[in-house]
């Protein structure tokens, strides 16, 4: 057992014996270190002003990812390197990203600039690839950084220039040293900072997690913190006991078992995207549109499911695919169809001390098709107004089985059982055979009106999305049915 948290700052190991259960990385940097280049903007992981780069040792190299420091708990970064905007330039010289931002006038008020620079710094160190990033990759990188006054053209120009060549900065030179420090800090010990009344804990194994959570079933489990962080910064919840799952061995693995993919509970959305896109391009695009690059680097699929939000993007898609959850309590486990996990608003079928350990996601059979659509006010980094997912099994052009799920339409992500029953026997190529199924959505759902959409809009949109799925399955090209996310382009 270890009672300290250890991070790497500016080439040195920093050991912290005082770490509050919900102390954020942003507060540590600004209040403890005085590293005020990292800004506090929205304090909810939306604007990106607080973006820093977090380095970790993976597959023999150091990988840098952008992270929203405002909602990232400090203790969750044990063994990681923290890089801020103050760290990246050489004495008397700007970093290539900084220099390009100056050259192309990429900053006006400058408040958002440190976060933009750090997002581009992470892209600068992308995967060790030699080729420059595409415009889409640059746009995706910047989607989590809000700039209200400069405009993105000069920022994109700066990115194109700075990232035209492979990374060649002080962090590349120091990579072997940094990797050595990370390997030194990697241990098999559980972390427990505090006492039984208030603590931050990071167990190292499923066994340790099970025992600790059984003793403290009132503790809050945290994986990526992209939702729980807002409980602290926006709802001001006093979370006295926090158990971080990021160090638990095995929960971060992805396994292909032939007819399905198993996602460990702490697999990030970033890591899940290629595996989900291999099942279906719509599924990959839905996962890519969950939050920003910063959110996907930290946020986990298991957390998105376990928190039970009615507007979570992944649950409807996973329900439509027939996914199964693995729940554990101590070392005992049980399997549960994912749609049965969501009992009511804010309530899941999870006993005290029980946690989500993994998700089994079935692949599509040759006789099955899948479609998924997310409707939101902003295309990138926005909460769904309506999320729809459809899996159909076909025999000779006739639907023999249907799974249809929606988010944003009820208190939980939910299957449209009446719709499914009326789709069986219908033919996607003949609209008159499935018109009754479209109308049945009103029998399955009574949506609410809120700031994202009215009840009427949600019902009409839900009907339109199901109709679009059926039209596409019947053969209509997505170049006609979609403005973006065309499936033909994904295959090409």
As a CATH number, domain 368-491 is 3.30.390.50
- The residues pairing with 65 across neighbouring beta strands, listed in sequence order, are 54
Q: Report which of 288, 309, 401, 300 is spatially closest to residue 356, judged by C-alpha positions.
A: 300
Report whether pLDDT(489) > 80.
no
Model confidence over 141-171: pLDDT tens digits? 999 999 989 999 999 999 999 999 899 999 9
% of the chain residues with pLDDT over 90: 92
Mean pLDDT of 165-188: 95
Give me the chain's average pLDDT, please: 95
Contact indicator for 390, 372 with CB cutoff of 8 Å? yes
What are the CA-CA distances from residue 139 to residues 45, 116, 142, 436, 451 (Å)?
18, 12, 5, 41, 27
CATH 3.30.390.50 range(s) for the chain read: 368-491
Tokens at residue 383, please? 């909460």
- Joined tokens for residue 28: 């540590």
Whether 260 has a pLDDT exceeding 70, the answer reads yes
Predicted confidence (pLDDT) at residue 127 exceeds the cutoff of 80: no
Residue 207, number of CB atoms within 10 A of its CB:
13
344-378 per-position pLDDT tens digit: 998 999 999 999 999 999 999 999 999 999 999 98
pLDDT score at 492? 41
Instruction: For residues 25-52, give the mean pLDDT.
Output: 96
Residue 112 has pLDDT above 50, yes or no: yes
Could you give the residue range(s) of every CATH 3.30.465.10 domain in the chain?
255-362
Chain Cα centroid distance, residue 290? 6
Confidence band for 309, pLDDT divided at 50, 70 and 90? confident
Range of weakest confidence among 124-133, 316-325, 402-411: 124-133
Q: Where in the chain is the domain with CATH 1.10.150.120?
A: 37-184
The top-level CATH class assigned to 255-362 is alpha beta
CATH number of the structural domain 37-184: 1.10.150.120
C-alpha span between 102 and 222 (Å, rounded): 39
Residue 236 tokens, joined: 């001001």
429-463 confidence digits (pLDDT tens): 999 999 999 999 999 999 999 999 999 999 999 99
pLDDT tens by residue, 266-282: 999 999 999 999 999 99
- Of 379 and 160, the structure prediction assigns the larger pLDDT to 160
Label residue 364 exposed, middle or buried (CB < 10 Å: 0-12, 13-18, 19+): middle
Answer for the pair 413, 315: CB distance below 8 angstroms, yes or no.
yes
């Amino acid at each position: 057992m270890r009672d300290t948290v250890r991070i790497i700052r500016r080439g040195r190991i920093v050991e912290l014996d005082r770490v509050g259960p919900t102390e954020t990385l942003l507060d540590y940097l600004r209040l403890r270190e005085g590293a005020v280049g990292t800004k506090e903007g929205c304090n909810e992981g939306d604007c990106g002003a607080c973006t820093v780069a977090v380095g970790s040792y993976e597959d023999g190299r150091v990988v840098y990812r952008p992270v929203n420091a405002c909602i990232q708990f400090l203790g969750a970064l044990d063994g990681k390197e923290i890089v801020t905007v103050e760290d990246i330039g050489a004495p008397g010289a700007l970093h290539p990203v900084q220099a390009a931002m100056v050259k192309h006038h990429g900053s006006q008020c400058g408040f958002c600039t440190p976060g933009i620079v750090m997002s581009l710094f992470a892209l600068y160190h992308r995967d060790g690839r030699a080729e420059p990033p595409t415009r889409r990759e640059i746009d995706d990188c910047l989607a989590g950084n809000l700039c209200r006054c400069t405009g993105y053209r000069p920022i994109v120009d700066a990115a194109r220039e700075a990232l035209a060549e492979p990374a060649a900065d002080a962090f590349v030179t120091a990579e072997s040293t940094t990797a050595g420090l990370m390997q030194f800090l990697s241990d098999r010990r559980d972390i427990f900072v505090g006492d039984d009344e208030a603590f931050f804990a990071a167990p190292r194994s499923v066994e340790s997690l099970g025992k600790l959570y059984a003793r403290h079933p009132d503790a809050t489990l945290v994986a990526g913190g992209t939702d729980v962080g807002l409980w602290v910064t926006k709802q001001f919840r006093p979370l006295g006991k926090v158990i971080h799952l990021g160090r638990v061995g095995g929960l971060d693995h992805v396994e292909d078992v032939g007819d399905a993919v198993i996602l460990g509970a702490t697999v990030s959305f970033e890591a899940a995207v290629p595996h989900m896109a291999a099942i279906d391009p719509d599924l990959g695009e839905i996962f890519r549109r969950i939050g920003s690059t910063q959110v996907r680097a930290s946020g986990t699929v298991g957390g998105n499911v376990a928190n039970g939000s009615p507007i979570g993007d992944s649950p409807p898609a996973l329900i439509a695919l027939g996914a199964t959850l693995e729940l554990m309590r101590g070392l005992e486990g049980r399997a549960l169809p994912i749609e049965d996990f969501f009992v009511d608003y804010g309530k899941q079928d999870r006993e005290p001390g029980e946690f989500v350990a993994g998700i089994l996601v079935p692949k599509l059979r040759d006789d099955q098709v899948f479609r998924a659509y997310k409707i939101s006010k902003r295309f990138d980094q926005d909460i769904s107004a309506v999320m729809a997912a459809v899996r159909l099994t076909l025999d000779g052009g006739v639907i023999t089985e249907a799974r249809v799920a929606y988010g944003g339409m009820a208190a939980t992500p939910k299957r449209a059982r009446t719709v499914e029953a009326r789709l069986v026997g219908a033919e996607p190529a003949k609209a008159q055979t499935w018109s009754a199924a479209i109308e049945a959505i009103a029998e399955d759902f009574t949506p609410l009106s809120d700031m994202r959409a009215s009840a009427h809009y949600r019902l009409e949109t839900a009907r339109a999305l199901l109709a679009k799925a059926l039209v596409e399955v019947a053969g209509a090209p997505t170049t006609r049915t979609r403005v973006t996310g065309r499936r033909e382009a994904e295959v090409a």
